[in-house]
């Protein structure tokens, strides 16, 4: 079981993105082809399968988090491309491993403070024991008391994969 809370794009945000993305463009669903297969879906945190109805949308992962806390992330309010299901898929079911944890894949573990500013980061080459590798990276990130959330991103394109927060034994998200 993972020690941290993994969060996909929130269901309410997905409903908005399925109408218009964070760049203001209308959602343009299509059927996944061989070129799309294996790419990460950020709604349910699993790979795309051939023939699924998907959309590539622009997403600003920090925007709503910052607005809910009354902070302005400034230039860190970046947006980038993410794949989502074009229709409700039921979302992410947490499991015993982290999503998209293919050994030897390169990820950026980006840290954010309470103001929504980048508070550091590191490159992670996912080891054979991916869960232990991610746990160690998140332990290091959250050892800084100023870090309130972490984003895992693809190194190749910089796209958002998922968010990570501290979990406490009661199950609440920190």
Is the sign of the CA dihedral 11, 14, 18, 24 positive or negative?
A: positive
Size of the chain in residues: 174
Residue 67 phi, psi (nearest 5): -60, -40
Q: Write down the pLDDT at residue 39.
A: 95
* pLDDT(173) > 50: no
pLDDT tens profile 131-162: 999 999 999 999 999 999 999 999 888 899 99
* pLDDT(169) > 60: no
Q: Write down the pLDDT at residue 2.
A: 65
pLDDT tens profile 159-168: 999 999 987 5
Nearest to 161 by CA among 87, 61, 19: 61
Rg (CA), the chain: 16
Copy the structure tokens of residue 27: 């959602």
Q: Write down the pLDDT at residue 161.
A: 96
pLDDT tens profile 93-141: 988 789 999 999 999 999 999 999 999 999 999 999 999 999 999 999 9
pLDDT tens profile 19-74: 999 999 999 999 999 999 999 999 999 999 999 999 999 999 999 999 999 999 99
């Amino acid at each position: 079981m993972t020690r941290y809370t993994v969060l996909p794009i929130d269901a309410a945000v997905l409903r908005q993105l399925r109408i218009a993305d964070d760049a203001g463009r209308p959602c343009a669903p299509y059927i996944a082809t061989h070129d799309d297969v294996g790419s990460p879906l950020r709604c349910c945190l699993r790979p795309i399968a051939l023939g699924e109805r998907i959309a590539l949308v622009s997403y600003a992962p920090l925007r709503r988090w910052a607005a809910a806390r009354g902070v302005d992330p400034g230039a860190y309010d970046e947006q980038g491309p993410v794949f989502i299901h074009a229709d409700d898929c039921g979302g992410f079911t947490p499991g015993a491993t982290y999503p998209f944890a293919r050994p030897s894949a390169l990820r950026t573990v980006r840290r954010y403070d309470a103001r929504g500013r980048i508070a550091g980061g590191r490159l992670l080459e996912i080891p054979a024991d991916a869960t232990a590798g991610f746990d160690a990276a998140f332990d290091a990130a959250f050892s800084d008391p100023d870090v309130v959330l972490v984003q895992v991103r693809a190194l190749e394109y910089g796209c958002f994969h998922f968010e990570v927060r501290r979990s406490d034994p009661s199950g609440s998200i920190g």
